[in-house]
Amino acid sequence: MSYDDTNIFAKILSGQIPCKKIYEDKFVLSFYDINPQKKIHALVIPKGRYSNLDDFSLNASSEEIVGLLKGINIVAKKLGISIDTGKGYRALVNIGEHGGQEVPHLHFHLFGGESTGRMIE
């Protein structure tokens, strides 16, 4: 699957569209979801051009994969929802059509700040 450079997260990464930034490093950008589903709803995206988790798993470098996972933990700590700084959270990735993915740039949703309820409702 080819990467769509016009997707909204590509535009956020290139600075064409603003975001409410939480954290940024060499590998990831994190910002608040524009339509929060829980008290805290953050997104963590890799800086590389990856359409979805399968694309990332197949094509990202080991450094990028570690960078994304470490980035999620850094963001959760920063938001006070990680296991050591808070009460935990839900990390969720939608993949493709049946997964309900709307934006074709890989993103992890982090939900927290309150109980996240049943996994599938």
Residues forming the site for ligand AMP (CB under 6 A): 8, 17, 19, 31, 33-35, 43, 94, 100-103
Closest CB to ligand AMP among 77 and 109?
109
Cβ contact 50:3 at 8 Å: yes
Closest CB to ligand AMP among 101 and 116?
101
For the CB of residue 16, give the shortest distance to ligand AMP in the complex, in Å. 11
**Active-site residue, 105 included:** no
CA–CA gap between residue 52 and residue 18 (Å, rounded) = 22
**Looking at the chain, how many residues does it have?**
121
- The amino acid that residue 99 corresponds to is G
- Which residue among 41, 105, 107, 109 is the active-site one? 107
Closest CB to ligand AMP among 20 and 85?
20
For the CB of residue 84, give the shortest distance to ligand AMP in the complex, in Å. 26
Cβ contact 32:22 at 8 Å: yes
Residues 6+ apart with CB under 8 A from 61: none
Candidates 55, 53, 48, 60; CA nearest to 92 is 53
Catalytic residue ranges: 107
